[in-house]
Structure 1
Amino acid sequence: MSKLTKYQGLIVSTLLLACSSMAALAAPQTGTPADGGLINEQQVLYWLIKRGEVAADASDVEKQAAVDAFVSRGRHTTFKPAAIEVKAEQLRVKRAAQKNTKSAQYAAANNKVLADQDITKTVKVLAVLVDFPDLPHDANQLKAGDSDMYYSSYPAAHYQQLLFSQNGFAGPSNQTLQSAYQYFQAVSGNSFYFTGEVRDWVTADHDAAYYGGNNSNDDDNAVPELVKEAVTKAVVGMTDAELDSYDIEDPFDIDGDGNYDEADGIIDHVMLFHSSIGEEAGGGVLADDAIWSHRFYVDSNTNGYVIPGRGGLKVFGYTVQPIDAAAGVCTHEFGHDLGLPDEYDTTNSGDGSPVGAWSLMSGGSWTGSIAGAQPSGFSPYAKSFLQQKYKGKWVNEQHISLANLTSSGTAVKLNHAVNSDAINQLSIALPAENIAFKAPLTGKYQYYSGQGDMMNNAMSFNVSLPLDTPLALSFQAHWDIEDDYDYVQVLVDSVAIEGNYTSSTNAVYPAVKNFISGKSSNISTAAGLDAWVNMNFDLSAYAGRDVQISVVYKTDEAVGDYGMAIDDIQLINQGSAFYIDGAEADGMATLSGFSRIEDSLPGKARRYIVQLRSHQGVDAGLVYDNYEPGVLLWLENFNQNDNNVSDHSGKSLIGVVDADQNLIGAQRTDVQIRDAAFSLYPQSSYVGDSHLAAESLFDDNRDYSAPLKQQAGMILPELGLTMQITEQASDSSTATLEFALSDSSELPPVSLVAEMKVQASGADVSFNVIVSGGSDYSYAWSFGENNATSSDTAPSYTYSASGDYIVSVLVTDAAGNTVTATDTIRVVIQPLAAFTLNQTDLTVALTNMSKQGFGNLTYLWDFGDSSSSTVENPSHTYNTAGTYTITLVTTDSIGNEVTANQVITVSSPIITATTSTTTTDNGSSGGSLGWLTILMLSLFGFLRKRV
């Protein structure tokens, strides 16, 4: 099993402990996204002309303007993923890292290699076909020539073959085309099984425009509603056992047990096909009332829609495709279902990212003799993601250490990317590079919130406040925070307080009060280019108390900006500062996700990835886009969150280094990088490209930034690294590469980076820390309770009580460099329900002995006689004697519930009478007469009252 991959650094910057409440409170999004990577401009123009919206003899400029106007919604859509999905992926990767660390240690101790390549994964897809009253599937108004995937009819059997055939399926000209099953088998080295069943056509309740018509935001109106209708109708006639067979995964780990291969009450994968051409390809006769292909969610605010009458089974995630879908759109959208992001520039406002047709998650979904029928392989970023998530044989990677390279060169053999049985990917980790940030307001240091998704970062300090008032907290800050979705709060003893620039109403999270969001530059009093704002908070209500003051930054599942920087913290009493923290001294504040920085941020992982791409296997379709085979060099850079090079040209999450820096006219990026591969062989001819000579040498001292077409270029670090192709098969199935590092190159020092790993089981918590950079480390752990510490590499600690604890580890290397990793962990010791009792006749007094649990405990007593109580230590009197079971249900503040029972027998009190006896010659008869007299007197008194 592999060690922690560089990919994991993108997903997990900190473990989120409190995101579920944000997901529950979030307002649902309206409309649905449009996958801009699926735009087919040629088909859009075809339908614009056919519908008479553009004249066939219009100028090229007029035609392009019409196309741009029609597809504009695919160039501005910004939709967030479901919070539960983002959170689950963060936790899955963190668990995988912990598991990998332990497995690596076990393997080393036992001299074993864990065989990831032997692991297979099977998914089962429920495919649903839906048409509309105004556009039946068997009267779809399509004619030959309307689509490259035109058939005279589209029965369920067609989609069954398109998706799941093991032998391919018949194309429009009866040629054999590749199925989605075959594609995923090929790209995974036969380790991923794409299976399922297609249900027959059902008809929606409304006409097509009801679902696909665009709303005021230019988004489709009601596709999730269509999914709910279609699935509900399609499963009619299926037995519960049949339907349950589509729930074999728990991708969000809903029950929290770390097992992702179990049922979770949600259908795993739903693929919807509708009876129209997709809006991304012109929309057919429906025009912009057609549905745009995408992947999204049903009822994300409740994590899915319950299918009526099916035992609570839900529909949640889905993909939607058009009637004429080819394998490319199906596999691209399912790539999203597997967790992959788009690799094109999702703004669609420029020339495009440097990925093009080299990856399915960009333009590769359209390659082939029939557009989209032969989708290309995945980028190495995507392959590494899938390998880490599912194991198997998605990639067979060899790591090359930059530190071990010399000027004499190191030869490495490489096989083409479609061969998973041999080394088909090379990885070269690069030194991290600090990222420039805004300078502190004063001094050398400032506090910084961090940036990322699903964060709950905090900085805090404890202070004793004087009795005198007024009391105030002040600090300087600047921020750029997504409005309402993300926010900062200042807390005193966990309560958010009002400040001079806090807001009281949050449109997304109504329960959130006294928060900071938006941009500091929008405040009129902001000072300087960085828009510093003087923040003030009244603390007079806390005078004379020992308090904890915290600044907390919470983010949602996407679209985050840089966050907040803080400097010059002061506590002021009657106009004089009695506490000052300018971030200049380490240790003044406890940092959990926040950091103390200068004017730069620590750089994230970067690496070169090398592939050999041919025109074989899943890459056979590249030849139809005139993409040249050869050695493809990629830069993966986790300092970038996306491939939106229209915002940051030359820098992307993943992109190819174009070997041929000669421009091909004014073409877009996908054309410019057709010749990106390094090769020993000259390029084939291409219209507008006069530079066809082979380029077999990569040298990072050269400029690969494409200065005249910057969105097609990559800005690279200059390290003195070269890569020379020395051998290459004529079909590019194999190659030998020589890597060298110039002797004059002095590598920049590798930053000391530490990432904490935590595994908790009740009160017992195990810790580890992954460190890169430096050597010969020493450790100083602080567990956040009772001054408990450790100097072990991987210590364990048993906590005395449930709670949230701030844990830190200071790592020092041999050169004296230090780095601190901090995490907030939640310890949950299950509550224990117990009680004792003291009984007197019909009355029982109960003493509650419950303990542990998280937060405050609540109690529910059932006395077994239809009476109950929520008092901690109740007393109860039974009406009648008998045997009863007393039950105590103890619940903690996060819902953990335990029960204790005791059986008790209660009796009525025994009354002992005191009698007066008169002794006579007749024995005891006088006593009997006395009792009779008393009885008669009592009866007489009763009768008088009645009268």
Structure 2
Amino acid sequence: MFSVILILPIGSGFVLAQPVSHTPADIGVVNEERIIYWMKKNGHLSENATSEETKQALARYTSKAQPYFPHQITKEAANAERRRLNRLTENKHLHKAPADSSDSVKTVKVLAVLIDFPDLPHNNNRLSSRDTRMYYSSYPKSHYQNMLFSTTGYSGPQSQTLRSVHQYYDDVSGNSFKFTGDAKGWFRAEQNAQYYGRNDSSRNNADNAATELVKEAVSDAVATMSQDELNSFDIEDPRDLDNDGNINESDGIIDHIMVFHSSIGEEAGGGVLGSNAIWSHSFAVNASSGGYTLPGTNKKVLGYTIQPIDAAIGVCAHEFGHDLGLPDEYDTQSGGDGSPVGLWSIMSAGTWVGTIPGSQPVGFSPYARSYLQNKFNGRWVNEQDISLSSITNTPTDYVLASAIDKQNINQLAITLDSPPIPFKQAYSGEYQYYSGQGDQLEHSMSFARQLPVSSSIILTMKSHWEMENRFDYAQVLINGVAIAGNHTNETNSTTNDRHTITGKSKSIVGAEGENGWVDLEYNLTPYSGQNVTIKMVYKTDTAVTKYGIVVDDIKIHNAGSQIYHDDSETQGRVTQAGFTRINNSRPGKNMRYLIQLRNHQGVDDGLGGSGYDPGVVIWLENSNQFDNRVSSHPGQSLIGVIDADQVLISNRNSRTQMRDAAFSLYDQTPYSGDNHLIANAHFSDSDDYTAPEKPQQGMILPNMGLSVSVVEQAQDSSSARVRINRTFEPNDDPENALVSISSTINGSTVNFTAAISGGSGGYSYLWNFGDGNTSTEVSPQHTYTQSGNYTVILQLTSSSGAVSSVTKRVTIGELNHQQKDGDTNQSKNSGGNWSWVMTLMLSGFAICRRRNKIWWSLLGSNQ
């Protein structure tokens, strides 16, 4: 069966106060070696700096870096994107690629604009051959035209032929995506360079006026064009703004804009400008109003990418990947070891691969390939789907072509059973209605009632919620019209919708309990005597994910007497379109093993020069995670590589550690500092891939008895045969259950939840909070009286008396005076003192043990 799993674009998986309005600094394009070079050359770091001094200086310099996130778009654009995604979701053949999809060819036309500064002209840029590996004596327009759009490559600094961006996208898409366009310029900016690129301390040190530079550059460029030429850059309506189902038409917005400025980028040290240079990024201009209208035209500028004078194609192709909707796969927090992706993807450190760094960027991850295949069709990936239920203890062989071979199967996908995610208790009884969590949602639940003729009809329900304030919201609608309630906002300045619920219920005075339950109340009297449809809707935008909204105990009162009650305990009382009826856990999202064969050919030809060995690369895609910020959640990432060689290469970061990640029949090639070069051809999810000494580079895997073995492999790794098998012996002992602990911390108070999948059930719970207090509840709340690190231990006991335990570490920050001297209630049902030997584990992990080994479960902890 050939299939493409629907992968929706993930923007900002981490929590921001609101989608930021300033330009980002893309951490995915950081070049640490060049930053150090320019800090020393510009006198900001001693030539004799110690490694620790260098590390600290580097951390300070890159502290402004952040991941790509979707730019702010208008309400109309957001709704259009939501409609597009809903149409995909409603497609009955979603997981099966259309028969003719591989014949689809997508052509984009990019407007590339070159702009320099009065104090830093492009032809007097003050660069020397030591300053950049992409040094040219001059940077004419023809250089960028060829680097971006040539079908035959372009001339490198030593007159060698290098791959163009056009060729890169042609190769990775199997000749189904055509990157075309024209370069314009050079033009001269109105202000000196520092005005646009200096760090603005009031906005997280963002570039001061990068969007102004974009406006100037594109305005200058279009002033040189005829109307017909300008129209040729607006041939797409990617969000279907007019809702006619046609995305291959003009929408009044220039489709793709790439701006090049005359300095080295701040992400690579900034050249002579240092931190006053512009940091390469992808963003939008005047997003809140749908873009900037170009003077004298009927066209707007909205999305753009911006790159430096010495850009290689890696930065250009990476930033354009953001333009297409792809997230960074790097750890987006600076200062960590990096995510378990390394150089295996262009959306991670693979941007910088090449003899000239960035001249040979590698291909996309399987996550990105699936997303691009789903969005554009074509030949981004030729995937074979393997259902977990079809894998038995009778081994099955599969032939796998290399990732660059678009004619044969080049990716295997095994969809895994997703265990439920611990959530919050219902207000009463066992069940409650839940909106779901995610970006670009429009979920609803509804029921119909004949209302009596009455002078007082009131709808009430119990509810709690947490949403991105103003950008995400819920409404109650009667016959499709939103109505006011006791906790609604009359207007929403962000979306222009009326009568919305937003923010978080805990902020409401009188909110009840740890979840912040409140009473929602709506007056239905104006609908007296009518047959009405009562609907709750929940809508989200492109960024910032909170848990959503929960409702329980829906009631209608007629003159004070109850005439309707839905306590959520009975299935089928409401029509659900995205909302679900849940207990104290919510459904887990998709997880897949994705299996590739990578070698040193095509777009991956730079891997060999970076010390990366070819072979079968096994990834885990986990949609329960929204990003690759493994410094916050070690071992759990949206997409990550399972490292076949768990022997660390000294204390190197992920770029080095992942060099030997491929499973292979052939021993590894020699590499400085790597003394373990023995081939590993066998993957088993019962083995430990968590890299305990460097957990950010490890992977926590579900134990499903799955194994993958490389049984044949071509000498050049152009093809391989893998054997997939599954052996799993059920056992009712709690040591064979999947157990997770999740927690939320509010000051000194922590809410704990335990969830169990498998085993015999009927367990008793005994929590030790690490400070001498205990609880026997399933989901206790505990308040600590002192700051510090605590190891929490949950002991499970089955009905037969078998015992297993799980640990989790929590950190309580410095307490203020009121917290120290105020209410000291410890926990619900807390009692006695325990003396425990505490094993420190990293926060957020869940474990199960089998045959005296430990495996980690992949249960998410977002609540």
**TM bin (shorter chain):** 0.7 to 0.9
Aligned to 2:275: 288
**For the structure 1 residues 10 and 275, does the alpha-carbon distance in structure 2 shift closer, same or farther, using more than 3 Å as the test?**
closer
Counterpart-to-counterpart distance in 2, 1:436 and 1:55 = 51
Matches within 5 A, 1:253-264: 253-264=240-251
Of 378, 383, 388, the match for 2:374: 388
Displacement of 1:534 after TM fit? 2.8
Counterpart-to-counterpart distance in 1, 2:606 and 2:731 = 42
Of 431, 438, 445, the match for 1:445: 431
Counterpart-to-counterpart distance in 1, 2:144 and 2:3 = 39
What amino acid does structure 2 have at the position aligned with 1:390?
F
What amino acid does structure 2 have at the position aligned with 1:304?
G
Task: Note if 1:400 corresponds to 2:400.
Answer: no
Task: Note if 1:50 corresponds to 2:41.
Answer: yes
Count of residue correspondences: 722
Counterpart-to-counterpart distance in 2, 1:100 and 1:595 = 20
How big is each residue's C-alpha offset from its partner over 1:539-586, in whole Å with a ceiling of 9 and x where there is no partner?
Answer: 496595656554332222211211122223344577765543321123
Counterpart-to-counterpart distance in 2, 1:538 and 1:100 = 37
Q: Tell which has more relative contact order, 1 or 2 (C-alpha 8 A, sep 6+).
A: 2
Task: Note if 1:557 corresponds to 2:529.
Answer: no
Task: Note if 1:64 corresponds to 2:51.
Answer: no
What amino acid does structure 1 have at the position aligned with 2:137?
S
Of 98, 105, 112, the match for 1:127: 112
Aligned to 2:710: 725
Of 286, 310, 326, the match for 1:299: 286
Displacement of 1:363 after TM fit? 0.9
| Alpha carbons 2:3, 2:95 under 8 Å: kept | no
Q: Higher mean Cα deviation, 471-480 or 77-86?
A: 77-86
| Alpha carbons 2:72, 2:288 under 8 Å: kept | no
Aligned to 2:817: none
Q: Secondary structure at the match of 1:591?
A: strand
Counterpart-to-counterpart distance in 2, 1:639 and 1:448 = 17
| Alpha carbons 1:75, 1:349 under 8 Å: kept | no
What amino acid does structure 2 have at the position aligned with 1:214?
N
Aligned to 1:363: 349
Task: Note if 1:604 corresponds to 2:589.
Answer: yes
Counterpart-to-counterpart distance in 1, 2:516 and 2:21 = 35
Task: Note if 1:272 corresponds to 2:271.
Answer: no
Matches within 5 A, 1:65-464: 65-75=56-66, 80-82=71-73, 87-95=79-87, 101=93, 114-215=99-200, 216-217=202-203, 218-310=205-297, 312-348=298-334, 350-461=336-447, 462=449, 464=451
Counterpart-to-counterpart distance in 2, 1:637 and 1:704 = 16
**For the structure 1 residues 79 and 628, does the alpha-carbon distance in structure 2 shift closer, same or farther, using more than 3 Å as the test?**
same
Counterpart-to-counterpart distance in 2, 1:539 and 1:406 = 57
**For the structure 1 residues 359 and 746, does the alpha-carbon distance in structure 2 shift closer, same or farther, using more than 3 Å as the test?**
farther
Aligned to 1:581: 566
**For the structure 1 residues 713 and 484, does the alpha-carbon distance in structure 2 shift closer, same or farther, using more than 3 Å as the test?**
same
How big is each residue's C-alpha offset from its partner over 1:517-550, in whole Å with a ceiling of 9 and x where there is no partner?
Answer: 333444564444x423232536496595656554
What amino acid does structure 1 have at the position aligned with 2:549?
M
Aligned to 2:649: 664
Aligned to 2:516: 532
| Alpha carbons 2:318, 2:351 under 8 Å: kept | yes
Counterpart-to-counterpart distance in 1, 2:401 and 2:411 = 8
- TM-score (ref. length: structure 2): 0.77
Aligned to 2:824: none
Displacement of 1:321 after TM fit? 0.5
Matches within 5 A, 1:537-552: 537=521, 539=523, 546=530, 549-552=534-537
Counterpart-to-counterpart distance in 2, 1:392 and 1:554 = 31
Q: Higher mean Cα deviation, 670-679 or 76-85?
A: 76-85
Task: Note if 1:481 corresponds to 2:467.
Answer: yes
Displacement of 1:389 after TM fit? 2.4
Counterpart-to-counterpart distance in 2, 1:742 and 1:404 = 12
Matches within 5 A, 1:826-865: none
Displacement of 1:3 after TM fit? 7.8
Counterpart-to-counterpart distance in 1, 2:180 and 2:548 = 43
Aligned to 2:831: none
Counterpart-to-counterpart distance in 2, 1:567 and 1:468 = 26
| Alpha carbons 1:9, 1:638 under 8 Å: kept | no
Matches within 5 A, 1:810-821: none
**For the structure 1 residues 518 and 148, does the alpha-carbon distance in structure 2 shift closer, same or farther, using more than 3 Å as the test?**
same
What amino acid does structure 2 have at the position aligned with 1:32?
T
Counterpart-to-counterpart distance in 2, 1:608 and 1:170 = 40
How big is each residue's C-alpha offset from its partner over 1:756-807, in whole Å with a ceiling of 9 and x where there is no partner?
Answer: xxxxxxxxxxxxxxxxxxxxxxxxxxxxxxxxxxxxxxxxxxxxxxxxxxxx
Aligned to 1:698: 683
Identical aligned pairs, as a percentage? Answer: 50
Q: Secondary structure at the match of 1:200?
A: strand
Counterpart-to-counterpart distance in 2, 1:292 and 1:133 = 19
What amino acid does structure 1 have at the position aligned with 2:516?
W
Unaligned runs of 5+ in 1: 13-25, 108-112, 749-947
Q: Secondary structure at the match of 1:427?
A: strand
| Alpha carbons 1:630, 1:679 under 8 Å: kept | yes
Of 14, 24, 27, the match for 1:36: 27
Q: Higher mean Cα deviation, 474-483 or 443-452?
A: 474-483
Displacement of 1:31 after TM fit? 2.1
**For the structure 1 residues 539 and 77, does the alpha-carbon distance in structure 2 shift closer, same or farther, using more than 3 Å as the test?**
same
What amino acid does structure 2 have at the position aligned with 1:266?
I
How big is each residue's C-alpha offset from its partner over 1:594-636, in whole Å with a ceiling of 9 and x where there is no partner?
Answer: 2211122223332211111112221121223322211100112
Q: Higher mean Cα deviation, 574-583 or 697-706?
A: 574-583
**For the structure 1 residues 100 and 150, does the alpha-carbon distance in structure 2 shift closer, same or farther, using more than 3 Å as the test?**
farther
Counterpart-to-counterpart distance in 2, 1:352 and 1:522 = 36
What amino acid does structure 2 have at the position aligned with 1:167?
T
Unaligned runs of 5+ in 2: 12-16, 737-863
Counterpart-to-counterpart distance in 2, 1:36 and 1:318 = 17
Q: Secondary structure at the match of 2:216?
A: helix
Q: Secondary structure at the match of 1:261?
A: coil
Of 569, 593, 614, the match for 1:629: 614
Displacement of 1:130 after TM fit? 0.4
Q: Higher mean Cα deviation, 29-38 or 483-492?
A: 483-492
Aligned to 2:637: 652
What amino acid does structure 1 have at the position aligned with 2:29?
L
Counterpart-to-counterpart distance in 2, 1:411 and 1:85 = 46
Counterpart-to-counterpart distance in 2, 1:616 and 1:483 = 48
What amino acid does structure 1 have at the position aligned with 2:347?
M
How big is each residue's C-alpha offset from its partner over 1:721-753, in whole Å with a ceiling of 9 and x where there is no partner?
Answer: 2111111122222211111122747999xxxxx
Q: Secondary structure at the match of 1:272?
A: strand
Counterpart-to-counterpart distance in 1, 2:548 and 2:638 = 20
| Alpha carbons 2:68, 2:327 under 8 Å: kept | no
Structure index of larger Rg: 1
